[in-house]
Structure 1
Amino acid sequence: MEKNSELDQATLRLVVSACAWLYIVVLEGLDGGGNARYIPIIIYISTFFVVSIFLRMIIKRWPGHFFWRRLFTMLHDYAGIAFAMVLGGEGALPIYAALLWVTLGNGMRFGSRYLALATAIALLTLVLIFWLNAFWRTQPYMFLMLIVTTIVVPAYAHILLKRTRIASEEAITANQEKSRFLAQASHDLRQPIHSIGLFTACLRDAKLGLEELRLVDNIDRSLHTVSQLFRSILDIYTLDHGKLVPQADTVHLGALLQDVVKQNTEAARWAGVELRLRPCPYWVAVNPGLLTTMVQNVLSNALKYAPGQPVLIGVRRQASRLAVVIYDKGRGIASEHLAHVFDEFYRVRHVRDKDVEGLGLGLSIVKRISQLLDVDIHIRSRVGQGTRVTIGGLEPATPKTPNTPRAAPLHERLNGLRVCLVEDDANVLMATSALLEKWGCQVESHSDGEGLTSDCDIIIADFDLGTKISGSECIAAIREQRGWEVPALVITGHEIERIRQSLHNLNISVMAKPVRPPELRGVLLELVKLMDRQDGSPIRP
């Protein structure tokens, strides 16, 4: 939320006027003459305070940049200062501090133009005070000092503001350059990782010997590690720059956890870990992608630091909320480390930890996402007994469908499926096409989506197809040509949340590269079910 500087200034005005009122009251009490010379000032400041309250209410009700309102508040402030200093004489000299506050406050909060305007009004106020009060006319040198101070201090503040603005602009420019570089590097790096993963899946399905399968397994394992590290770095960058705006959806919690377990089946096998998932009938209102990332990162830690031990995943009730609990029987974490496990790049060092991959970013990402989703994250651990991580505070929701997880369609339902594949990267196009054909699909491969026609059942397109047409535009053109909303999937190497927001009204599924083959197959099966509901025709044999 953007900070309301004018409201802050209005709040501080009340504080300063209250201090000024208290000071004048003390002066009146100390005045031995009994002529009540400060009573008019006390009355004026009291009135000033009431008016300032109404001004603050107006600013809060109608925030924004209104020049005439800001000018009125400055005149309001300087009028009060002038009244006090004219009637108060030498006893009201400390009120000059309020004049400096008004001048600097407007400049520092609203910029150099307001600083110059406030300085000009402040000098006119001092001239008026000098003209109306005999005491100040008898102290010309003291008054000259006030004039000089009123010029020099704002002038120095202007220099600081200018330097700060230049530094800020340079930082923003550098940050934008870094963002553009990371976005381009992210897209370019995702492509080869994505294609290697698909080629590896094709090799796994080929008729290979045991030695060759072992090599493929090692390639897949190394690729999985690179993919996890890559995603962690991008997640940290995205969270640090506030680009994620979570949008809640009604999600079957059991199905979400089941998907995470399926995606980690190979990694669990490599670690010798048995993943145990307790059935869960609950639905929750949450952003599914961010919650999946949280569970994925916690589970990845369990696979790294509890090899050869079972990992249990379940859901518990916490009063009116729900909590996902992940428990492992690994080495555990000593109490002196627990306070730091959510810090970036912090890793609990043990013997032979050089063999454990990772940057120490996983739990830091989990903590940041928990703050974004307004959920709780707690870790309890005992050395030698294991670790329990609880993601709590999940809000239950009304089910979209009957309260049972959906059964996954059979793999054979992809046989004969006509897929229009549009991808401008030759390696990714080749790898995706080969994998889809391994699954029994009939693939139409295209490197350019412009002017494309197809009688396909499902469209898979890269989002960025060059300068002429985007993946979403290609999908829209095919749908218009076919006369019905052909199920479609966009696979992107760009920031997935931004792409999702741009496509949320088009009924297009979105996946981020690099895509794991099991994830791709799962989405395809969901699109097959969608196609069956839309046209009622069976899958072609």
Structure 2
Amino acid sequence: MVVLALLLSLAAAVLANIGASLPIYAVFIAGALLPTAVYRVLLGGAMNLGLCIGALMMMLVLTLFASRLAAATHRSLRIGHENRRLAGALEQRTREAERANLDKSRFIAAASHDLRQPVHTLGLLLDVLQGQSLSLQAQETVTRMAHVLDSLDSLFAGLLDISRLDSGAIEPRRTDFALRPLLLALTDEFNAEVLAKGLSLRCRASDVWIRSDPLLLERILRNLLANAVRYTLRGGIVIACRRRAALLRIEVWDSGIGIADAQQGAVFNEFYQVANRQRDPDQGLGLGLAIVRRLGALLGCPIELRSRLGRGSVFRFSVPLAIVPEPLSDAAPAVNDAQAALPPGWPERQVLVVEDDAHARDALVSWLASWGCQVVSCASAAAVREALETIPAAPDALVTDWRLPGGEDGLDVVRLVRQRFRATLPAILITGDALDDARRLAREHGVVLLHKPVRPAALRAALGAHWLTARVAETVAAPSPPRAGAPRRQEGAS
């Protein structure tokens, strides 16, 4: 009886280890208990028969438990394998969806030149039309067309910015810079619109230096300010900065309509607007905060939102602080407003225009001619080579498109003209590409880059900045006239 009890205890203990495999457990329990049971039957007697029957019943019970354990184990394994298969399939589908979304974004970013070209040409022609003498009814029609074109331009710019961010075409270029001048410039930019709505705009920023990408940071703040001005009907807007250890928290407060808790997560989605259910384009397109969220993630400073319905909102994010550099002792004199003012015309300036689109080329020529410039236009780099044979002197500026026929681009034209006249003449590169290649190459070659659609003010400012810088440099380099009574220096004198 003691030996039988020990064997039954061993069979029950082994059930937890090998019971999940019914054949293995059946072989084990049969080898452990059947010899003892058969031996008891052969010995004979009521007690031995009872022990044999008890042993057989325990074998049956333990085998039944092993059968249920094996079934549960197999079911659990099947579920585990199915879950892994489904997880793998879901991961594969997710990768395919992300790849498709990335391909779509890259396609839109790469095709941005072809998408922007019609808008760019239409803007040029419309601006030429605005400069002509028109009837009152025609002027109203042109004004409406300009309004529609601005909406279309904003939509294209927003969509292409989102596609560039999603495709990874934008890489932040972090540098150390002072934040206060940037905030003051943005405050001055929005001040007229704020005053027109009867609001107040205040800037509370100390003289701190931060490390970030100034262009992308400016885009974030401009979108946040535009959003605050649009949805603030009374009160005001405040831009504030607060130190937090090695970080600087930048906040944009407003006393606008506020955002309900249920909508705060959705305001960063594309085309979502809290108070524009009628989809009025005059109230924006709903892409500003979507771009802000992507730019914040790109710079490593996620945007936080706190808002109360009817009480206003605050958007905040943090950027790392930088070490303030020592002030320069020999600082260059700043150019005052009178010097920076653009001249009314440039009658003695010669500009070389290279544009393969005939409509855009004619509009550019009309623009520059209306400003008094003498224009030479070409449609390709091959035409530029022919024109250079007849141009006696280097042009004062070069305005060229990025993409040109014949497998050449605007930088090829820049290099060609500069090599022909052995001079680093000012060059403006106009592009509709959303990729960073054009910006990087333009920076390496000292070329100003303008993105399509180009407005007359942007082109005029770029040309004026070129020629103003050259005029200031000539003034600084020119020798000052001798003072009365001062002795002239003889050549060869020590």
Cross-structure match for 1:148: none
Letter of the 1:410 partner, please give it: A
Answer whether contact 1:486 1:531 (CA < 8 A) is retained.
Answer: no
**Is the counterpart of residue 469 in structure 1 residue 408 in structure 2?**
yes
SS at match of 1:465: coil
Distance 2:118 2:191 in 1: 23
Distance 2:181 2:126 in 1: 27
Task: Specify which of 433, 441, 444 is matched with residue 376 of structure 2.
Answer: 444
Higher-Rg structure is 2
Letter of the 1:316 partner, please give it: C
In the superposition, relative to structure 1, how do residues 470 and 315 fare at CA in structure 2: closer, same or farther (>3 Å)? farther
In the superposition, relative to structure 1, how do residues 212 and 406 fare at CA in structure 2: closer, same or farther (>3 Å)? farther
Specify which structure has the higher proportion of helix: 1
Aligned residue pairs: how many? 393
Distance 2:144 2:200 in 1: 21
Cross-structure match for 2:487: none
Cross-structure match for 2:36: none
In the superposition, relative to structure 1, how do residues 354 and 370 fare at CA in structure 2: closer, same or farther (>3 Å)? same
Cross-structure match for 1:367: 293
Task: Specify which of 423, 428, 444 is matched with residue 489 of structure 1.
Answer: 428
> Structure 1 residue 488: deviation in Å?
1.6
**Is the counterpart of residue 331 in structure 1 residue 270 in structure 2?**
no
SS at match of 1:411: coil
Task: Specify which of 407, 411, 427 is matched with residue 342 of structure 2.
Answer: 411
Cross-structure match for 2:448: 509
In the superposition, relative to structure 1, how do residues 333 and 202 fare at CA in structure 2: closer, same or farther (>3 Å)? farther
Cross-structure match for 1:318: 243
Task: Specify which of 453, 456, 468 is matched with residue 529 of structure 1.
Answer: 468
Distance 2:364 2:190 in 1: 21
> Structure 1 residue 470: deviation in Å?
0.9
In the superposition, relative to structure 1, how do residues 484 and 274 fare at CA in structure 2: closer, same or farther (>3 Å)? farther
Cross-structure match for 2:419: 480
Unpaired segments ≥5 residues, structure 1? 1-91, 94-155
Task: Specify which of 145, 148, 161 is matched with residue 219 of structure 1.
Answer: 145
Unpaired segments ≥5 residues, structure 2? 1-16, 19-81, 478-494
**Is the counterpart of residue 305 in structure 1 residue 237 in structure 2?**
no
Answer whether contact 1:252 1:405 (CA < 8 A) is retained.
Answer: no
Cross-structure match for 2:353: 421
Task: Give the CA RMSD over aligned residues.
Answer: 4.8
Q: Could you state the TM-score of these two structures normalised by the residue count of structure 2?
A: 0.63
In the superposition, relative to structure 1, how do residues 310 and 474 fare at CA in structure 2: closer, same or farther (>3 Å)? farther
Distance 1:262 1:336 in 2: 34
Distance 1:462 1:262 in 2: 33
**TM-superposition CA deviations, 1:324-371 (whole Å, max 9, x none):** 554544323233322332234433246655565555332121012112
Distance 2:123 2:351 in 1: 20
**TM-superposition CA deviations, 1:202-239 (whole Å, max 9, x none):** 44444556655444333222222222221222222222
**Is the counterpart of residue 186 in structure 1 residue 118 in structure 2?**
no
**Mapping for residues 100-499 of structure 1, pairs under 5 Å:** 178=104, 181-183=107-109, 185-207=111-133, 212-249=138-175, 253=179, 256=182, 268=193, 276=201, 284-306=210-232, 312=237, 314=239, 316-319=241-244, 322=248, 325-349=251-275, 354=280, 358-393=284-319, 395-396=321-322, 407=336, 409-412=340-343, 415=346, 416-450=348-382, 451-452=384-385, 453=388, 455-499=394-438
Which shows bigger deviation, 316-325 or 418-427? 316-325
Higher relative contact order (CA 8 A, sep 6+): 2
Answer whether contact 2:242 2:250 (CA < 8 A) is retained.
Answer: no
In the superposition, relative to structure 1, how do residues 432 and 384 fare at CA in structure 2: closer, same or farther (>3 Å)? farther
Distance 1:374 1:253 in 2: 17
SS at match of 2:343: helix
In the superposition, relative to structure 1, how do residues 166 and 464 fare at CA in structure 2: closer, same or farther (>3 Å)? same
Answer whether contact 2:237 2:255 (CA < 8 A) is retained.
Answer: no
Answer whether contact 1:419 1:444 (CA < 8 A) is retained.
Answer: yes
**Mapping for residues 82-97 of structure 1, pairs under 5 Å:** none
In the superposition, relative to structure 1, how do residues 391 and 165 fare at CA in structure 2: closer, same or farther (>3 Å)? closer
Distance 1:315 1:413 in 2: 39
In the superposition, relative to structure 1, how do residues 330 and 171 fare at CA in structure 2: closer, same or farther (>3 Å)? closer
> Structure 1 residue 426: deviation in Å?
1.7
Distance 1:352 1:176 in 2: 31
Answer whether contact 1:376 1:391 (CA < 8 A) is retained.
Answer: yes
In the superposition, relative to structure 1, how do residues 398 and 422 fare at CA in structure 2: closer, same or farther (>3 Å)? farther
State the identity as a percent. Answer: 30
Answer whether contact 2:106 2:167 (CA < 8 A) is retained.
Answer: no
**TM-superposition CA deviations, 1:133-161 (whole Å, max 9, x none):** xxxxxxxxxxxxxxxxxxxxxxx9xx99x
SS at match of 2:272: coil
Distance 1:404 1:321 in 2: 33
Answer whether contact 1:249 1:286 (CA < 8 A) is retained.
Answer: yes
Letter of the 1:431 partner, please give it: A
Answer whether contact 2:210 2:319 (CA < 8 A) is retained.
Answer: no
SS at match of 1:333: coil
SS at match of 1:489: strand
Distance 1:519 1:249 in 2: 25
